[in-house]
Structure 1
Amino acid sequence: MPDSVPTTDSAGPRDPQAPRTRSGAAIPGRSAVLAWAVAGAIGAVVLITVLILTAGSAVYSVLGYADPGAVTKLGVNILRWVVDVAGAACVGSLVFSAFFTTPQQSGIVSADGYAALRFGGGAAWAWFGGALLMTLFDAADSAGQPVSEVADSEALLGLLGALDAPKAWLLSALCSLIVAVSCQVVLRWRTSMVLAGVAAVGLLPPVFVSNSASNAGHDFATNSLVFHILAASLWLGVLIAMAAHVRRRGAHLASVTTRYRRFALGCWLVLAVSGTIDALVLMTPTRLLGTGYGSLVLLKAVCLLLLGAISVLARRRVSGVARSGDSRRALLHLVGLDTAIMLVTIGVSMGMAHTPPPNLLTRDVTATEVIFGYSLPDPPTLLRFVTMWRLDLILGTAALVLAAGYLLGVRRLRSRGEHWPGGRVVAWLSGCAAILVGTSSGLGMYAPAVFSVHMITHVLLNMLAPALLVLGGPVTLALRALPSAASGQLYGPREWVLAITRSPLVRVLTHPALAAVLLIGSLYGLYLTGLFEAAMEEHWAHQILYVYFLVTGYLYYWAVVGVDATPRQLPHLPRLGIVLGAMPFQVFFGVIVMSMPTVIAGNYYRTLDLPWASELLADQRLGGVIGWLAGEVPLMLALAVLLWQWHRDQQDGDGSGAEGSDEDAAHTAMLAKLAESRRS
C-alpha cells in the first residue's frame, strides 16, 4: 500500500490547553459513556422484549399470516435493533472522519480521521453479519413461520423470491460489505466521503418495505421515513464518534463539539418534522390515545424532547471542553445519557414496526393509492396541472432548500459589496422551479399515471432544470460566499465543496463524452427495455429515477455550458460537437416511441385501471412527440449559450474558453490562493 498509516495528526496540533495524562491514565468521565451506553442497550432490549410479547399476534392477523412464535418475533426485532445501531455507528464514524476532522496535507486522513475510519469499518462488519441474519429472520417473520422451518436453503430461496423484505436486507448487507472491506484499505480523506455516502444508502432498503410503504399516503410516509432514518442514524453515529474523540482527547475539541452541537440541532429538527409527518399518515391525531401505536408515538416524542433538552445542557459545556477536565467530564456524562436515550428510542421504533398502525386497519385503498399513495379519479387537464399540488418531500424540499441557500449566498456576497450577475440568479431559481413543478405540481402527480405527462417531467428534470441550474454557477458562488478555514483548523463547507468538485470521480463523470452517453443512453436503456415498467411500480424506484434524471442532466450541461469551471476544460468546438451530436439521438428516440406498435409498460398502466386512461397507445405517441420536440428546446438553449460564450471569449482575446472573463480569472486566482494557503 503506497499510503502510510497516519500516526499523528499533522493537520493540526493537539489542543495546547488540553490537560496531559500519562499513557493509560484514566480520562475524567470516560467510563461514564460506557456505563450509560450499556444501560441504554439493556433498557432497549428489555423494552423491545416487553413490547413484542405484549403485542400478541395482531400485526400478523392483519397481514393474514400465522404467528411465527416468540423466538422468531424477539429475534427479528432485537437483531434489527443491533443492525440499526451498528449501521448508525458505521455511517456516523465515516461522516465524522470526513466532516469533523482535517486531513493531512497529502490528502491522507489525520490520526483522528483514521481512528474513526477504522471504527466505522468494524461497525460495518457487525452490520454485515446482522443484515445477513436479518435476511433469514425477516423472511421467517414475514411468512409467519418459525425461523427453524426456513433455515434450510430451499425454503429460504423460495421466500427470497416471494418476499421483498429479505431482498432489502441482502442489499443492505451488500452495501455494508463494500464499506467494511473498503475501510480496511482506504486512507484518503476524499474517499471517506464516498464511503459515508455508500453507507447511508445501505440504510435505506429496509425503509422501502416498512409499514410506511404499504398504505395510502405512502409517498409522504416513505419519503419522511428516509429523512427520519438518516437523521437518527447520523445523529447516533456521530455522537458515538464524537464521544470517542473526546475520550481520546483528539484535536480541535472545542471546534468539534461546537460543530456537533449544530449538527445535532439539525438532526433533531429533521427527526421532529419527519416523525410528525409519518405519524400523521399512519394514524389520525385522535387515535394517539387508546391505541398501542399511538402510545408508542407519544413515548418516542418524549424521548425526542429529552434529547433536545440534553442538547441544550450540552451547549453550556462546549466552550470549556478543551480547557477544563470538569467540563470534559460533564460533557461525557451528557453524551453518555444522550446515547442511552437514543438507544432506547430505537427500541421504541422496533415496537412501532411490530405494531399495526390504525390506518392500516381501517382504510380501504384503491390501486392508485397502493402504487402512488394518492387517488386520481379525474383525467388530467391544464387547470389541474396548475392547481393540484402534492409536495415531493425529497426532491420538492431539495428544490426549496437549494433556492434558499443560493439566495443566502448571493446576499452574503452583496453585503460585502461584491457583484453577482442577476442572470445567474434567475437561471438558478428557474431551475429550482422546474424541479418543484416537475415533482410536486399536478404534472408530478399525473406523471406516474400518464406516459405523455411523464415525458414532460422527464424533459423538465433531465434537460431543462439541469441546463438552468448549471447556468447559475452554484460552485463559484459557494466558493466565493463561504469562508475559508484557517490554517491548521477544521475544514469547513468551502473546503468540502472544493474537494468534491476537484475529485477524480467528478473528473471522470464530467467528461463530455461520458456525460452525453449517460444523458442520451438513459432514453433508450430506460424506455425501450423493461426497466421503465419496473421503476414505475415502486415508489422508491420512481424517486431514484428522478434523481438519476437530475444528476445525469446536470453532469452533461455542466460539461458543455456550465459557468463553473470543470476538472476537465475543453475548447468550445468539441463541446459544440457534443451538443449537436445529441440532437439526432433525441429525434430518433421520439420517432421510435411514436412508431412502436406496443405500449411501453402496458401491464403497469393497465393495472392502474383508470377509467379515463383507455387510449394508451395514442397517449404514448403523444409522449413521443413531447420527447422529440420538448427535448430539443434545452439542447437549443445550450447551443445558444455555448455560441454566446464562444463569442464572448473571442472578444476577450481568448478562444479556449478556459478563462473567458474577468470573473473567471478571479475565480482561478482564488483557487490558487486557497491552494497556497493549504501549503503554508
Structure 2
Amino acid sequence: MPSTETAPRHGDRAARDGSRPAGNTTVPGGAERALPVWTWPAVAAAGALALVLAAWFTGVSAARELSDPGALTRWGVPIVEYGSNMAMSVTIGALIFAAAILPPHTGGRAPRRRKDDPPAERLPEHPAFTRTMLVASVAAGVWTLCALAVGILSYSDLAGIPLGAGAAFSDGLVAYFVSISVGQAWFWVAVIAAVVTSLAVAVRSHSGLFWVGILAMIALVPLALIGHAAGGDDHMAAVNSIGLHLLGVVVWVGGLLVLALIAPTLVGPDGGTGRTTYRRQGSAPLVHTVLSRYSVLAGLGLFTVALSGVVNAALRVEHLHQLLTPYGGLVAVKFLAVVLLGLIGLAHRRWIIPQLRGGAGEDAAAEAPRPARRLLWQLIAVEAVVMSAVMGVSAVLSRTAPPKPEELPDGASPARILTGYELPPELTGARWFDLWRWDWLWVAVCVFLAIWYVRSTVQLHRRGDSWPVLRTICWILGLVVLTWATSGAPAVYGRVLFSAHMVGHMTLTMIAPLFLALGAPITLALRSLPVRTDDTRGPREWILWVVHSRWGAFITHPIVAGANFAGSILVFYYTDFFRFALEYHVGHEFMNVHFLLTGFVFALVMVGADPLPNRPPYPIRLVVLLATMVFHAFIGVAMTSSTGLMQADWFGNMGRPWGPDALADQQIGGAVMWGIGEFPTVAMAVTVAVLWALDDRKVAERYDRKAERDGDAELAAWNQMYSNLADQEDRHGRR
C-alpha cells in the first residue's frame, strides 16, 4: 500500500493544490512533469485555424444570396458547436476519471467503519481528484452556455434571421425549441449540461459520480439523433454509428484533455497502485497508474471512433471520387488525423508507460527515467493539439452537405415513409438467415463481449485456473443469437411484419438471455479482473457494487424478476410504448435493451450460476416459471384470437403486395409468442428440476460423509431423544 507520509499536510498549500509533490516525496526535474508552456495556446490556435480553413474550404461561412442570417451566425454556429463538443468531452472525461481512475483520498484506502464505531476523521481529498472535479464543474458550465448558444444560433441560421431581441425572433425561437427536432435536441442538451454542472459541484461519492456520468452521457442521444447522417438512408445505422462515434470521442479525447489539465497533480505514489499480479497490486507512481488505466479506455475509444467513422462516412460517400468533394476531403483529413493519434497512443502503451513504473515504494516516481517523463508530456501536448484541430474540422463537417442526398425521394413508398427503408422482398425460409441489415451498436457490443470473454478465459488458463468449455460455448452462442435478432431477418422485417417482430422479441427476451446467463459472465469477470487496493473502483469493484446493492437485490428477487419479465409484454403491446418503438429509433433501441436485460435477469435468477444477493429456493423458481408459462400462453392466445389490429395505421398502411394481411399476420405473431415463449420456459423448468435433484444428492452425500466420520452421531442423537421420550411416556403411564 502507498505510504501515508505522502499525504498533504493541512497547512501545506502547495501540497493541497498539487503544485508540488506532497510530504517527503521528491521527484527530480519537477518541470518535466508539467506540459510544455505552449500547449494550451497551441490547442486553441489549432482548433481555430482548423475551423477557419475547413469553413473556407467548404464554403459554409459564405454569405447567402437569400435569407442570410449574418456573419455572426454563420461563423458563430461552428465556433460554439466546437466549444460545446470540447466542453462536453472534458466534462464526461473528468467524471470518468473521478469515478473509475483516480484515488479520491491521499494515503490509500479509507478505513472501513462499523455502525457502532465513533466518527473517524476523513482522509484528505487527493489533489488530482480535487482538480478533476473542478475541471468537471467548470467544463460543464461552459458546455451549458455553448449548448444554449448553439440552439439560439442554429435557429437564426435555419430561419435566415439575424440575431435580435424582437418579439418575432423570440416567438420563433420558442417554437423552434418546442416543435423542431434540432431545437428540441439542443434544448435538452443544455438542460442536461446545467444539471450536470450543479451535480459536479456537490457530488463526491463513487456511486453519485457514476450516476452523474450516466446523465452526462445521455446527452449524446439527442446529438446522435440530429447528427449529419441521421436523416438519410439507413437511418438506424447512421444514428448508431454517430452515437458510437460520440461515445468514443468523449472517452478518448475527453480523457486525454483531462489528463493534460490535471498533469501537475499526478506526482508521487499517493494512492497509486500498479498491477503486479492478476489479483494484487503494488505501489507505483500515480502517473503510471492513471496512464495505465486511461490507456485501456483510450484504446477502446480509438477503435470505436475509427470504425464508426468509417461506417458513417460509407453511408454518405458511395464512390471514391466523392472523397474529392468538400465533405469527402474533411472526412479524409479526420481519418488521417485519427491514424496519427493512434500511432502516438501506441507509442505511449508500448514504450513510455512501462518505463514510468520505475522502482517500488515511496521513491518509485523518482526512479522513472527522465527522458520518458519528458517525452510523455510532449506527446500528450501534441495529441491535444491534433485533437483540437480535428474537433474544429468536425464542427464544420457537421454543417457540410454530403455527396449523397439525405432527403426522401419523390414518390417514396409507404414503407419508406414509415420505416425509413424500402419494403424488403417477400419473407421466405432462406431469407430468415441470408438477409441482414447491420445494427452497428449491437454488432459493437457483441464483438466487444466476445473478445472480452475469450480473453478472460485465456487469462484464467494461463495462471492455471480452469473454466468450463460449455460455458464459453453458451456465451458465444448467445452473442450469435443476439446479433441475428438485432441485425438479421427479425430486424429487417420486424417493422414490416408483426410476426417477424414477435420472433425478434421472443429471441431477445427468451433465447439469447438463456445462453448468456449459462455463460456465467459475472463469475468470469470477478475471477479475471484485478482487485484494486487504492480506494478506486475498477470494473470488478463496480460489478460487486451492483451485485450487493439494494437495487440489485430488488430486481433479482424472483417475484420482481418474473413480474418484470412477463408484465413487460402486457405493458409494451397494449400501450403507446409499442408505437414509440416502431416510430422512433430511441424507442426501438430501448425496447431491445429492456427485453434483453429483463430476460437475462430472469434467466440468471432461475438457472444462472452467477452470484446473487439472495438465491431463491428451487420450489419458488418452479412456481415462478409455471406462472410465467401460464401468462405467456394467455397473452399469446389473446393475440391469436383478436379481431382488432394493433397499430393499424402502421402495419395496415405498409403497402405489402406479398404475405398475409396485417390481421392474419398479427394472429401468427400471437402463435409465435405462445410457441417460442413456452419452449425456453419449459427448458428452464427442467433445468431447475435437475439442479434441485443434483443439489439434494450433494446434500445427501455430504451427510453420508459426515456420518462416516462421526459414526452417525446425529442419527444416534435423534434415536436417543426418541428413546428418552418413550421412557417418559412409559413412566407417566405407570402412574
TM-score (norm 2): 0.79
How do 1:282-321 and structure 2 match up within 5 A? 282-315=316-349, 316-321=351-356
The CA deviation at 1:87 is 0.9
Cα distance in 2 between the residues matched to 1:516 and 1:60: 61
Instruction: Give the counterpart of 2:144 among 110, 124, 128.
Output: 128
Letter in 1 for 2:400: T
Offset of residue 20 of structure 1 = 4.8
**Closer, same or farther: CA 255–351 of 1 in aligned 2, 3 Å:** same
| Cα separation, partners in 2 of 1:143 and 1:582, compared to 1, 3 Å | farther
2:200 aligns to what?
183
Q: Does 1:461 align with 2:508?
A: yes
- Out of 622, 626, 629, the position equivalent to 1:583 is 629
CA distance in 2, matches of 1:7, 1:185: 23
Residue of structure 1 in register with 2:429 after alignment: 382
User: Following the alignment from structure 1 to structure 2, what is the Cα–Cα distance between the partners of residues 504 and 142?
Assistant: 48
Alignment of 1:129-208 (within 5 A): 129-148=145-164, 153-208=170-225
How far apart, in 2, do the equivalents of 1:105 and 1:633 lie? 50
Which amino acid letter does the alignment assign opposite residue 572 of structure 1?
Y
The question of 1:254 aligning with 2:255 is answered no
Structure 2 distance, partners of 1:529, 1:142, is: 36
Check conservation: 1:430, 1:468, Cα contact below 8 A: yes
Given the alignment of the two structures, is residue 45 of structure 1 paired with residue 54 of structure 2, yes or no? no
Letter of the 1:206 counterpart: L
1:346 maps onto 2:347 in alignment: no
How far did 1:358 drift?
0.4
**Cα contact 1:29–1:330 (8 A) shared by 2:** no
CA gap 1:58/1:249 in 2 versus in 1, 3 angstroms: closer
Opposite residue 514 of structure 1, the aligned amino acid is: V
Q: 1:503, CA displacement in angstroms?
A: 3.5
Taking a change above 3 Å as real, the CA distance of residues 401 and 46 of structure 1, as seen in their structure-2 partners, is closer
CA distance in structure 2 between the partners assigned to 1:534 and 1:554 by the alignment: 23
Percent of residue pairs identical: 28
Give 1:276's aligned residue. 310
Decide which of 577, 598, 601 is 1:552's aligned counterpart: 598
User: What is the match of residue 80 of structure 1?
Assistant: 81
Whether the 8 Å CA contact 1:371–1:538 is kept in 2: the answer is no
Q: For residue 626 of structure 2, what is the amino acid of its counterpart?
A: L
Q: Does 1:328 align with 2:373?
A: yes
1:561–1:641 Cα contact (<8 Å) kept: yes
Which of 334, 337, 343 pairs up with 2:382? Answer: 337
Whether 2:460 is the aligned partner of 1:413: answer yes
Q: Deviations over 1:479-512 (max 9, x none)?
A: 2233434x44976543343334333443333233
Mapped partners of 1:106, 1:130: distance in 2: 42
**Corresponding position of 2:36:** 32
Structure 1, 592-601 or 464-473: larger mean CA deviation: 592-601
Alpha-carbon offset, residue 281 of structure 1:
1.0
Which whole-Å CA distance do the structure 2 matches of 1:654 and 1:16 have between them?
61
Letter in 1 for 2:403: P
Provide the alpha-carbon RMSD of the alignment: 3.4
Alignment partners' CA distance in 2, 1:579 and 1:59: 66
CA contact (8 A) 2:495 2:582 kept: yes
- CA deviations over 1:177-198 (Å, ceiling 9, x no partner): 4433333332222332333233
C-alpha distance after superposition, 1:597-633 (max 9, x if no partner): 4322222335543333671111111112212222222
Shift, 1:472, TM fit: 1.6
- Distance, in Å, in 2 between the alignment partners of 1:339 and 1:57 is 26
Matched, 1:573 2:619: yes
Q: Is the 8 A contact 1:513 1:578 kept in 2?
A: yes
Report the alpha carbon displacement of residue 529 of structure 1 after superposing the two structures with TM: 1.6
Contact (CA 8 Å) 2:67, 2:161: kept in 1 or not? yes
Displacement after TM superposition at 1:354 (Å): 0.7
What SS is found at the alignment partner of 1:126? helix
- Contact 2:559 / 2:624 at 8 angstroms: preserved in 1? yes
Cα contact 1:136–1:151 (8 A) shared by 2: no
Higher Rg: 2
d(CA) in 1 for partners of 2:688 and 2:150? 53
Equivalent pairs counted in the alignment come to: 640
Unpaired runs of 5+ in structure 1? 1-5, 656-680
Deviation at 1:29, TM superposition (A): 5.7
Paired residues of 1:18 and 1:324 also in contact (CA < 8 A): no
Query: Are the structure 2 counterparts of residues 69 and 54 from structure 1 closer, same or farther at C-alpha, using a change threshold of 3 Å?
Result: farther
CA distance in 1, matches of 2:242, 2:199: 28
Counterpart AA for 1:19? T
Q: Which string of whole-angstrom CA distances, capped at 9 and with x for unpartnered residues, describes residues 103-127 of structure 1?
A: 5346899623454234323322322
The one-letter code sitting in structure 2 at the alignment partner of 1:32 is P
Q: Secondary structure at the match of 1:567?
A: coil
Q: 1:424 to 1:313 in 2, by over 3 A?
A: closer
Q: Secondary structure at the match of 1:652?
A: helix
Q: Any idea what SS the aligned residue of 2:404 has?
A: helix
- 1:654–1:76 distance in 2 versus 1, CA, 3 Å: farther
In structure 1, what is the Cα distance between the partners aligned to 2:155 and 2:566? 40
Cα 1:26/1:476, change in 2 over 3 Å: closer
Code of the residue aligned with 2:487 in structure 1: it is S
Q: How does 1:531-546 map to 2 (within 5 A)?
A: 531-546=577-592
Match of 1:503 among 549, 554, 566: 549
Q: CA deviation at 1:397?
A: 3.1
Match of 2:243 in 1: 226
The 3 A distance-change label for structure 1 pair 558 and 516 is: same
1:539-587 deviations in whole A, cap 9, x for unaligned?
A: 3331222112111222222233321111233333333333333233322
* Cα distance change on mapping 1:258 and 1:172 into 2, 3 Å: same
CA contact (8 A) 1:165 1:209 kept: yes
CA separation of 1:359/1:465 partners in 2, compared to 1, >3 Å: closer, same or farther? same
Answer whether contact 1:87 1:203 (CA < 8 A) is retained: no
User: CA 1:114/1:599 → structure 2, altered by over 3 Å: closer, same or farther?
Assistant: farther
1:675 corresponds in structure 2 to none
Structure 1 residues 502 and 287 mapped into 2: Cα distance closer, same or farther (>3 Å)? farther
Once residues 178 and 516 of structure 1 are traced to their aligned partners in structure 2, the CA distance between those partners, rounded to angstroms, is 35
- Tell me the amino acid that sits aligned with residue 30 of structure 1: A
Q: Work out whether residues 432 and 489 of structure 2, in 8 Å CA contact, stay in contact via their aligned partners in 1.
A: yes
Following superposition, the deviation at residue 291 of structure 1 comes to 0.9
Q: 1:517 to 1:489 in 2, by over 3 A?
A: closer
Aligned in 2, Cα 1:354/1:446: closer, same or farther, shift over 3 Å?
Answer: same
Distance 1:164 1:469, change over 3 A: same
State the partner residue of 1:645: 691
Name the structure 2 match of 1:475: 522
Change (3 A) 1:503 1:335: farther
Q: Secondary structure at the match of 2:699?
A: coil
Change over 3 Å in CA distance of 1:300–1:137 after alignment to 2: same
Alignment partner of 2:337: what SS? Answer: helix
Shift of 1:339: 1.1
CA separation of 1:555 and 1:198: change in aligned 2, threshold 3 A? farther
